[in-house]
Amino acid sequence: MIRPALVILFLLAPACAAAQGLPALTITESDQGTSWSLSLQILALMTALTVLPSLLLGMTAFTRIIIVLSILRQALGTQQTPPNQVLIALALFLTFFVMQPVLQQIYDLALAPMLDDQMPQSEALALASDIIKGFMVEHTRQNDLLMFADMAGAGPFATPEEVPFHVLLPAFLTSELKTAFQIGFLLFLPFLVIDIVIASILMALGMMMVSPVMVALPFKLLLFVLVDGWALTVGSLVAGYGLGG
C-alpha cells in the first residue's frame, strides 16, 4: 500500500515556481535538472494531501465501484448493512487492485528514475501524466470525450497524450457514472422481481398489513448468498477494467 500512495502523491506535486523569490522556498536549476528546497517539497506534499481525495474520485476506478456497491445495498434493502465504512474500505481496496498495473508502470518508468536522479522531475511528471491519461482515455466513452472536447473547442486528438486534463477529467467521470448506473440497473432487476412476487402473494392472501419489504428481505439475501453475489459483483467490476480475464 505504500508504493501506490507514493505514486499518487507524486502525481499531485504542484508547480510552485511562483514561490522562487522566497528564501525558504527555492528552486535551483542545474545540468541535472530542477531541484526543490526541503521547505518547498513539504509544501508540495501538504498540498498534494489536500487534493488526494479529488484525485482518487476523479482519476481512478473508485467512482464506478462505490456507486455500484451503494446501488447493490439499496437493491438488497438492508438499510445500512454493510455500513458506509465497510463499503468505502472495499471500494478503496478494489480501486488499488484495479489501478495496480497503472501505478506500477508509473513507479517503474517515472517515479523510480526520478528518485534515483536519472530523470528530471518535470520529465517524470509529464511521463506519469501520459500513463494515467492512457488509462482514463481507454475507459472513457468516445461520445463523452467528443462532447467535452467540442464544448472546450479542443481537438481532434491523435493520441491519448494530447487530450488535456480539463477535457479528459469530466469526460471520464461522466462515462464512469453512466457505466455504474447501467451495472446498477442490471443488479436491481432480480431483487425487484422478488419484491413484486412477494407483494403479489401477500395481496392475494389478504395480508395487507404485512410489509412486503420485511418478507422479501430474507429471500433476497438467500438468493444473493446462493449465487455468491459478492464474488460475482466484485469480479464483474474488476473485469470491466480488463483484469481477471
- Cα-to-chain-centroid distance, residue 227: 27
pLDDT tens per residue across all 245 residues of the chain: 445 555 554 554 443 334 344 444 455 555 555 555 556 667 667 777 777 777 777 888 899 999 999 999 988 888 788 888 999 999 999 999 998 998 888 888 888 888 887 878 778 888 888 888 888 888 888 888 888 888 888 777 777 777 888 888 889 999 999 999 999 999 889 888 888 888 888 888 877 777 777 888 888 888 888 988 888 888 888 888 877 65
Exposure string for 209-218, b = 16+ CB within 10 A, e = fewer = eeebeebbbe
Please state, in angstroms and rounded to a whole number, the distance separating the CA atoms of residues 202 and 173.
Answer: 42
Q: Decide: 40 and 16 in contact? Cβ < 8 Å.
A: yes
Q: How far apart are CA 197 and CA 204, in angstroms?
A: 11
User: What nine digits make up the cell of 111?
Assistant: 517515479
pTM surpassing 0.85? no
Cβ count near 74 (within 10 Å): 13
Closest CA to 167 of 181, 152, 178: 152
- Distance between CA atoms of 180 and 236, rounded to whole angstroms? 11
